[in-house]
């Protein structure tokens, strides 16, 4: 076992008794939600997972140690200002230099797998970014896609943020042989919006079928599964507002020269400010629903 990995007792116990565990990531708390709101969301996600009969394992790095499952005090630290955003490539440096950091989908999935956790809930998967100006090559492709291709963890999310090139992201997922399964939807969701222009190749309508797909997939490959669950209909963002904020947000990025790992947090914040809180409700509620679905699927998987 790595000296840089600490698994909470509750998670270890659940794993050894074959009970369901759901991993939760910390970047969406530290960098995707405003200070003052993130802690209550983090605590609520854990409650939702418990209410559905699974054990939550929020994952973050503190003092150079990856924690699988946080105490309330550790969760508070993760939700305080100034945490680094750690993708998978950043774990080695953060461990060696004993830093704190929030983990993205890429690093959370990798750590969940190290801890034997098979199901993970988040808001939106990272993907291929739109190029600004159009036609240029930004080379901004989230490491989330590569990790999903090589890590046997199911990520439950609401598709990818509409701030990304959804068409390109869907193509990369196909290239990397990651099954994309719609949860009660025929469309690939666009985070704030329930439906993008893209359909999904597969659909399931209940947790048992989702678990059956994951179990079957795991018999022949070590890649992950993407289970996409759209934002609850009552919290979907108004399409016109969404489209306006998206084009304004993209212009702002270019104006300020924002790049790399700062792109996603900057755009999320721009949406939160520009939508009068509507995008924040959408983001919070979609993550909450993904936590519930992930827990229900994890319970089905553990009883197979």
* 3-state secondary structure at position 167: helix
CB 283, min distance to ligand PSU, A: 5
Q: Would residue 161 show up in a list of annotated catalytic residues for this protein?
A: yes
Residue numbers belonging to the annotated binding site for substrate? 85, 105, 142-144
Please pick, among 25, 46, 285, 296, the residue that the annotation labels catalytic: 25
The CA-based angle 133-136-141, given to 5 degrees, is 105
Residue 49 and residue 52: Cα distance in Å, rounded?
Answer: 5
Question: Candidates 121-129, 180-188, 203-211, 228-236 — which segment interacts with ligand PSU by CB under 6 A?
Answer: 121-129
Residue 26, binding choice from Mn ion, ligand PSU, none, Cβ under 5 to 8 Å by partner class: none
Q: Would residue 25 show up in a list of annotated catalytic residues for this protein?
A: yes
- Sign for the CA dihedral angle at 199, 205, 207, 213 comes to negative
Structure tokens at 117: 């956790």
Please pick, among 46, 98, 118, 161, the residue that the annotation labels catalytic: 161
Is residue 140 near Mn ion by the rule CB under 5 A? yes
CB 10, min distance to Mn ion, A: 33
- With a CB cutoff of 8 Å and minimum separation 6, the contacts of 198 are 166, 167, 170, 187, 188
What Rg, from alpha-carbon coordinates, does the chain have?
18
Residue 217, binding choice from Mn ion, ligand PSU, none, Cβ under 5 to 8 Å by partner class: none
Question: Candidates 14-22, 238-246, 261-269, 293-301 — which segment interacts with ligand PSU by CB under 6 A?
Answer: 261-269
Question: Candidates 138-146, 172-180, 199-207, 273-281 — which segment interacts with Mn ion by CB under 5 A?
Answer: 138-146
Is residue 100 near Mn ion by the rule CB under 5 A? no
Phi/psi for 28 (5° steps) reads -65, -30
CB 85, min distance to ligand PSU, A: 7
229/264 with CB nearer ligand PSU: 264
Q: Which of 126, 123, 132 is nearest to 107 (CA)?
A: 126
CB 144, min distance to Mn ion, A: 9
Is-contact 104 85, C-beta < 8 A?
A: yes
Is residue 126 near ligand PSU by the rule CB under 6 A? yes
Residue numbers belonging to the annotated binding site for Mn(2+)? 140
Residue 225, binding choice from Mn ion, ligand PSU, none, Cβ under 5 to 8 Å by partner class: none
Interface positions, 12-41, toward ligand PSU (CB under 6 A): 25, 27-28, 31-32
Out of 86, 105, 231, 282, the only residue in the binding site for ligand PSU (CB under 6 A) is 105
Is residue 283 near ligand PSU by the rule CB under 6 A? yes
17 C-beta neighbours (distance < 10 Å), count:
9
Q: Which helix (H) or strand (E) holds 157?
A: strand 154-157
* 3-state secondary structure at position 141: strand
The CA-based angle 102-21-64, given to 5 degrees, is 30
232 C-beta neighbours (distance < 10 Å), count:
15
Q: Which residues are catalytic?
A: 25, 161
Residues in the site for ligand PSU, rule: CB under 6 A?
Answer: 25, 27-28, 31-32, 104-106, 122-124, 126, 142, 144, 261, 264, 268, 283, 287
């Amino acid at each position: 076992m790595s000296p840089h990995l600490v698994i909470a007792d509750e998670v270890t116990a659940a794993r050894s008794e074959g009970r369901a565990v759901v991993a939760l990531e910390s970047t969406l708390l530290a960098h995707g939600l405003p200070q003052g709101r993130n802690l209550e969301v983090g605590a609520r996600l854990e409650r939702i997972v418990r209410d559905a009969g699974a054990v939550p394992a929020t994952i973050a790095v503190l003092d150079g140690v990856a924690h699988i499952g946080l105490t309330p005090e550790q969760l508070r630290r993760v939700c305080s200002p100034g945490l680094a955003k750690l993708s998978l490539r950043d774990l080695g440096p953060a461990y060696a230099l004993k830093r704190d950091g929030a983990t993205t989908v890429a690093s959370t999935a990798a750590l969940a797998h190290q801890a034997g956790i098979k199901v993970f809930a988040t808001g939106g998967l990272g993907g291929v970014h739109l190029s600004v100006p159009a036609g240029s090559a930004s080379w901004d492709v989230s490491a989330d896609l590569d990790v999903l291709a090589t890590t046997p963890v199911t990520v439950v999310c609401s598709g990818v943020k509409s701030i990304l090139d959804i068409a390109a992201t869907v193509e990369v997922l196909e290239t990397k042989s990651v099954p994309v399964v719609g949860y009660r939807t025929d469309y690939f969701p666009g985070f704030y919006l329930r439906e993008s222009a893209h359909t999904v190749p597969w659909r399931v309508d209940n947790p048992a079928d989702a678990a059956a797909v994951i179990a079957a997939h795991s018999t022949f490959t070590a890649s992950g599964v993407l289970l996409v669950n759209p934002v609850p209909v009552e919290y979907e963002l108004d399409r016109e507002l969404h489209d306006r904020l998206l084009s304004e947000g993209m212009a702002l990025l270019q104006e300020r020269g924002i790049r790399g790992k700062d792109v996603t947090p900057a755009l999320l914040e721009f949406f939160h400010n520009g939508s009068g809180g509507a995008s924040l409700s959408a983001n919070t509620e979609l993550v909450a629903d993904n936590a519930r679905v992930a827990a229900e699927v994890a319970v089905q998987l553990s009883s197979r």
